[in-house]
Amino acid sequence: MADTLPRVAVFVSGGGSNLQSLIDAVKAGILTAEIALVISSTKKAFGLQRAEKAGIPGRTMRPGRDESPEEYEARMLALLDEHKIDYIALAGYLKLLPLGVVRKYRHRITNIHPALLPKFGGQGMYGHHVHEAVLAAGEKESGPTVHLVDEIYDHGRILEQIRVPVKPDDTPDSLAARVLEKEHRLYPRVLQKLIKGEYDLD
């Protein structure tokens, strides 16, 4: 049966804790898919070690020194084709996907963001930068957002969010920890619903 499951590529740039939540969700039967490939923007990403431990192929993908954007896009598409990827899940991936990848996988690419989009999104808004901005703005709540990916950072259609109260004594670290806990619950659930066709995407 495993070869009939939808095949997901997870893109990471760092620790990969959301990758781990997806791996764990597959093992628990919460996510009926196969994590078939992990792609990282850097060799140093701990997410690649998580992939190796789970027996998932891991690859580092970044543009070559003399490689054109078109060549890089073709190389990424070829890798996704090689692994017969059906869906892409961005999990702390800090790069824009090539336009051809976005177009080929339209409505099949998700991203998780640690704030309530459309607030606190866009280029440069990642990790602690987000939580610092939320606190600096005096927001009363924050929380993760899962959205579809388009050609613009953090811009695609919002699928689901979880609201997390901001406490008066919160630091970026404490807020990040509470939001991350909700991310790990939200992402597998939303990806499962997307795969099952439970969102009206027309």
List the catalytic residues.
Answer: 113
Backbone angles phi, psi at 85, to 5 degrees: -80, 135
> Pick from 71, 66, 32, 80: which is nearest to 189 by CA?
32
> Pick from 118, 108, 114: which is nearest to 166 by CA?
114
- Give CA–CA dist 118/66, Å, rounded: 36
What is the β-pairing status of strands 58-60 and 87-90? unpaired
The count of C-alpha atoms lying within 13 angstroms of the C-alpha of 60, restricted to the half-sphere facing its C-beta, is 10
